[in-house]
Structure 1
Amino acid sequence: MRRSPWSTLVVLAIAQFMVVLDVTIVNVALPNMQTDLHFSADDLQWVISAYTLIFGGFLLLGGRSADLIGRRLVFVIGLVVFAASSLAAGLATSPLELVLFRGVQGLGGAMLSASALTILMVTFEHGRRRNIALGVWGGLAGLGGTMGAIVGGILVDALSWRWVFLVNVPIGILVIAAAFFVIRESRAPRVGRRTFDVAGAVLSTAGLLAIMLGVIRAEPLGWGSLEVVGLLAGGVLLLGAFVVVESRSAAPLIPLRLFRTRSLSLSVVALGLNSAGFLAMFFLTAIFLQQVRGLSALDTGWAFLPMGIAAIVGALVASRLVTAFGTRAVQLTAAVISVVGLLLLSGADATDPYATSLLPGLVLFGLGITAMGVPAQVAAQSKVHQDDAGAASGVLNAGYQVGGALGLAVITTLATSHVADAVSSGTAPAAAAVSGYQFGLLVAAVFAATNIVIALLSPSVKVSQAESTEAAELDPVSI
């Protein structure tokens, strides 16, 4: 049966739209989840972190699995896992259940997202048709992130927080059915003995989980407690074992030779810090708007819309400026804009007008977050051999997801500790909540400011307009 590549693109884009939508749609429902399931302030961030950490930890393994056993097969398996775990998350009755199902959802998202991009690249030959396909792909991904907060607000206000997960089920079923009729099965050419690096995926994810749990437990127990020290030390040991395994593996999850390229190594760190600032800002601001300023979930979604529009503009503008001024200048300017945006947001109070206290910071941060991601992506790929391009993209995306999860854990833990200290010293709970929000954004600004240093250390690269546009379309920080 003849299959149209454009119908394949439609199926892939809908699936990716669903995955990207899920990152932001959940944020506006967090206060309702906290009230209904009795989440503690410390544990609530796991609703976001469980998804992003597992997604990042298994993204590379998902891509390799697709190459070995079939890209359509892994895509469909990922869809099944994602839809089933969405149903389970929507029916969760306790914090533990919801966090566990969110982790499984991240696994399904990693499988379908990694295989979907590979299918797109083998379906469309290099040139104009592929550029159009990537433009549609990137545009829908950006739209999914931008619309997530509004769609989440509508579902929460009209129905329940549970529908931010349940909405994925009918969409997933339709895409699964369409995949068998529209997408052609394909595999990578077999060269020698090809194996799964399960050990690498398990060690890296377990190590990162241990470190993140150690950071979170430091708030109630103290940094010097035996449990916290044990978790942090164990996480470091597991990551050390991961490096050893990767160096000896015939088919490593992450080819360590990639990190000999300075531009790629620095870009991984830059994108991780970028993600940390974004996830923490979104998490803290969504709670601040609803629990402190009293906005509904839908009004909160509308409040984030200007940031999403600014982010799309930032990516488009950066893709053009890179060709004229090189990656370093654009990356440095964007990092500064991000810092200014976070500093403006950190000055917001419970009663200040939205137009003067929140809107300028949201717009500047939206511009900066994607305008920094595009040159980082371009610089990272500039020195990578074509045979390693797929692996490099996977490393960058994984670094973005994992960096965001770890950064969110650090920033929210420090913000929660700040609130607890303020309340214990006699500050009113409402004032303490405002102070915690402001402090958390200041910590996020420190993360963003680190990217100024990284930009100064990064080599400057100039590329063609087509290359920079492609980087913008594949930028993992599109929201």
Structure 2
Amino acid sequence: MERQGTGRPLAALAGAQFTVVLSTSVVNVALPQISAGAGLTEGGTAWVVNAYGLVFGALLLLGGRAADLLGPRRVLAAGLAVFAAASVAAGLADGPWLLIGSRAVQGAGAAAAAPAALALLVRLFPPGARRARALGLWGAVSGAGGAAGVLLGGVLTEAFGWRWIFHACALGAALVLGATLRSVPADPPRGTDRPPADLFGALTSATAVLALVYGLGAARGSGWTSPAVLGPLATAALLAVLFRHSQLRHPAPLLPPTLIRRGPVGPANLLMALLGAVWVGLFYFLPLLQQQVLGAGPLAAGLAQLPLAAANMAGAALAPRVTRALGPHGAPAAALLLQAAGLLWLALLAAPGTTLAALTAPTVLIGLGLGAAFVRLTGAAVDGVRPEHTGVAGGLVNTTRQLGGAVGLALLVSFASGAGTPAGTHRTAFLLAAALAATAAALTPLLARRTTTRTREGATP
């Protein structure tokens, strides 16, 4: 009876996560058609992707804190409504600015929905086997959303035109919104004695993330010594210092300093940043390897990634069993080492003459490790967090994954681009990604040490 009571809410929350992940990949395959249809320049085409990613990453922390203060169900519903409206506007856009602006608003809606949905999942499923299974489904849905985005984008563009990519996103968000309102328990009434909003913290954190991600993106094309790179990075560093100072002084900070000092939350976010670097780097370089080195077309390259997506889903679904077998800290270490082995294997295959089929085995290894590590680190990042901080904890773990991906991709591109040949570039990138995964595996004992310290001191986050 208890499972039936939480089955529908879990499906709605998983649907919200699926929608958010889908929207990050659904446009990639249709960028040429979108560019031609909306009259975009080459630089404008990149902003169809960047506008969403920048705003999403910058507002995740604020979205999580809003869920804690206003109620996660309210914030999830509002985020889905904003996302759906922005998707409709993007599908109707007749010029570059409306399209890019709509994508930015989509990112804002997703930044509210993602941490609120995770906060609701944590509240509905207390620590234990049931939460582990729920997080396994959460991770599987994340893997499915990325693969579905590539396939759905191609099918809709071919059959109906690129505008239907955004109309489909709007329809999906509307359906999830309806399911959320019907099945997810309402938030308790808000008290009148609410803490003051941390407006300065919200402004500095969002602007720092925007500046950091923008500067790292510019580094891939301009080089690390360019003013277009150094200026945003210096701004991000200054704003980060101001943000930290403000969090120590505000009575209700956006990111409570005690949140990352107690329990496994801090180490889990560090490891999630490294996982994000491996994740984003893989999905950037793998399609390029398939097309630039192995000579595959876009459709063949997309289909060749389906085993990776399926393995990602399987790894997420199996994560609870792996955790029971290896322990809460041995499981992520094994998953990260599995990724490192698969990436080393990919590096050996990065040469002309390799077939797409030969990539299946290493990408399956990577996918299994990626799914299991994602689930376990997400669980550790919210483990033992106070109920009033579950939203910001969800926003934080999503933010560190986004920032880790941005930093990792910039570094991988920078170091790998000096390899000379396309095959050498990809080989270097996969070797560096393997080193990052192995480093993360070596750091997993931090999870155990922090947990032990918390238990010994009798503190509760």
TM-score by length of structure 1 reads: 0.77
Q: Which amino acid aligns with 2:191?
A: R
Q: Distance in 2 between matches of 1:68 and 1:394?
A: 13
Return the letter of the residue paired with 1:39.
Answer: E
Task: Map 1:51-62 to 2 at 5 A.
Answer: 51-62=52-63
Task: Indicate the residue corresponding to 2:153 in structure 1.
Answer: 152
- 2:336 pairs with 1:335: yes
**Equivalent in the alignment of 1:467:** none
Deviation at 1:274, TM superposition (A): 0.7
1:470 alignment counterpart: none
Relative distance call for 1:406 and 1:81 in structure 2 (3 A) is farther
Q: Residues 180 and 168 from structure 1, CA distance in 2 versus in 1: closer, same or farther, beyond 3 angstroms?
A: same
Q: 1:375 to 1:116 in 2, by over 3 A?
A: closer
**1:235: how far off?**
0.9
Give the residue type in structure 2 aligned to 1:241: L
Partner of 2:42: 39
- The answer to whether the 8 Å contact 2:84/2:170 transfers is yes
What are the within-5 Å matches in structure 2 for residues 246-261 of structure 1?
Answer: 246-261=247-262
Alpha-carbon displacement from aligned partner over 1:278-320 (angstroms, at most 9, x marks no partner): 1221123234435655545443332111112212222344322
1:244 match: 245
Task: Give the corresponding residue for 2:456.
Answer: none
1:200 aligns with 2:189: no
Out of 59-68 and 364-373, give the one that drifted further: 59-68
Rounded to whole Å, the distance in 2 between the matches of 1:280 and 1:94 is: 31
2: CA distance between counterparts of 1:134 and 1:458?
18
Deviates more, 1:27-36 or 1:189-198: 27-36
Corresponding position of 2:350: 348
- Cα gap change, 1:343 to 1:249, in 2 (>3 Å): same
Is 1:212 aligned to 2:213, yes or no? yes
CA contact (8 A) 1:65 1:196 kept: no
Gaps in structure 2 of 5+ consecutive residues: 453-461
2:383 is equivalent to residue 394 of structure 1: no
Matched position secondary structure for 2:206 = helix
Aligned to 2:362: 361
Deviation of the 1:169 alpha carbon: 2.2
Q: Decide whether aligned partners of structure 1 residues 244 and 123 sit closer, same or farther in structure 2, where only a CA change above 3 A counts.
A: same
Counterpart-to-counterpart distance in 2, 1:60 and 1:401: 11
Q: Which residue number in structure 2 is paired with residue 271 of structure 1? A: 272
Residue type at the aligned position of 1:106? G
Report the residue type matching 1:349 in the other structure: A
Amino acid corresponding to residue 209 of structure 1 in structure 2: L
CA distance in 2 between counterparts of 1:276 and 1:44 reads 24
Measured in 2, the distance between the counterparts of 1:132 and 1:324 equals: 15
Whichever residue aligns with residue 370 of structure 1, its letter is G
* CA deviation after TM superposition for structure 1 residue 60, in Å: 3.3
Contact 1:338 1:365 survives alignment (8 Å): yes
Closer/same/farther in 2, CA of residues 437 and 134 from structure 1, 3 Å limit: closer
Helix, strand or coil at the partner of 2:279: helix
Q: CA deviation at 1:240?
A: 0.8
Pick which of 198-207 and 4-13 moved more: 4-13
Counterpart position of 1:376: 377
Report the Cα distance in structure 2 between the residues aligned to 1:410 and 1:223, rounded to whole angstroms. 10
On the 8 A contact 1:82/1:106 being kept in 2, the answer is yes
1:50-108: per-residue Cα shift (whole Å, max 9, x none)?
43443243233223324444545433331232123334444567777655543322211
> Partners in 1 of 2:269 and 2:124 — Cα distance?
28
Matched residues, number: 445
From the superposition, tell whether residues 161 and 285 of structure 1 become closer, same or farther in structure 2 (CA, over 3 Å).
farther
Assess if the C-alpha contact under 8 Å between 1:342 and 1:365 holds in 2. yes
1:268 and 1:116 map into 2 onto residues whose CA distance is: 18
Does the CA contact (< 8 Å) of 1:154 and 1:297 recur in 2?
no
Q: How many angstroms does 1:168 deviate by?
A: 0.8
The question of whether the paired residues in 2 share the 8 Å contact of 1:150 and 1:305 is answered with no
Identity across the alignment (%): 37
Could you tell me how far apart the structure 1 residues matched to 2:254 and 2:309 are? 33
1:442 aligns with 2:431: yes
Distance 1:32 1:369, change over 3 A: farther
Name the structure 1 match of 2:309.
308
- Give the aligned partner of residue 323 of structure 2: 322
Task: Report if aligned partners of 1:61, 1:253 keep a CA contact under 8 Å in 2.
Answer: yes
Give the corresponding residue for 1:102: 103
The 1:322/1:163 distance shift into structure 2, 3 A limit, reads same
In 1, Cα distance between the equivalents of 2:294 and 2:45? 19
Deviation, 1:348, is 2.4
How far did 1:257 drift? 1.0
Partner of 1:190: 191
User: 2:136·2:318 contact (CA, 8 Å) conserved in 1?
Assistant: no
Distance 2:400 2:142 in 1: 18
1:404 maps to 405
Give deviations 1:391-443, integer Å, cap 9, x for gaps: 4343223222332233334434555x548xx4xxxxxxxxx444443443333
Code of the aligned partner of 1:407: G
CA deviation map 1:377-401 (0-9, x unaligned): 4444556556645543432232223
SS in 1 for 2:224: coil
Shift in Å, 1:129: 8.5
Q: Given the two structures, how large is their TM-score scaled by the length of structure 2? A: 0.80
Amino acid at match of 1:83: A
- Over the residues paired in the alignment, what is the CA RMSD in angstroms? 3.8
- Residue pair 1:67, 1:187 contacting (<8 A) in 2 also: no
Q: Which of 435, 439, 448 in structure 2 is aligned with 1:459?
A: 448
* Superimposed CA distance per residue, residues 35-55 of structure 1 (whole angstroms, 9 cap, x where no aligned partner): 884536xx8776555434432
Distance 2:126 2:331 in 1: 30
Distance 1:436 1:137 in 2: 34
CA–CA distance in 1 between the matches of 2:120 and 2:446?
35
Aligned partners of 1:395, 1:319: CA distance in 2, in Å? Answer: 23
Residues 274 and 400 of structure 1 are in contact (CA less than 8 Å); yes or no, is this contact kept in structure 2? yes
Q: Matched residues in 2 for 1:127 and 1:7: separation?
A: 20
Residue identity opposite 1:354 in structure 2:
L
Contact 1:279–1:408 (CA under 8 A) maintained in structure 2: yes
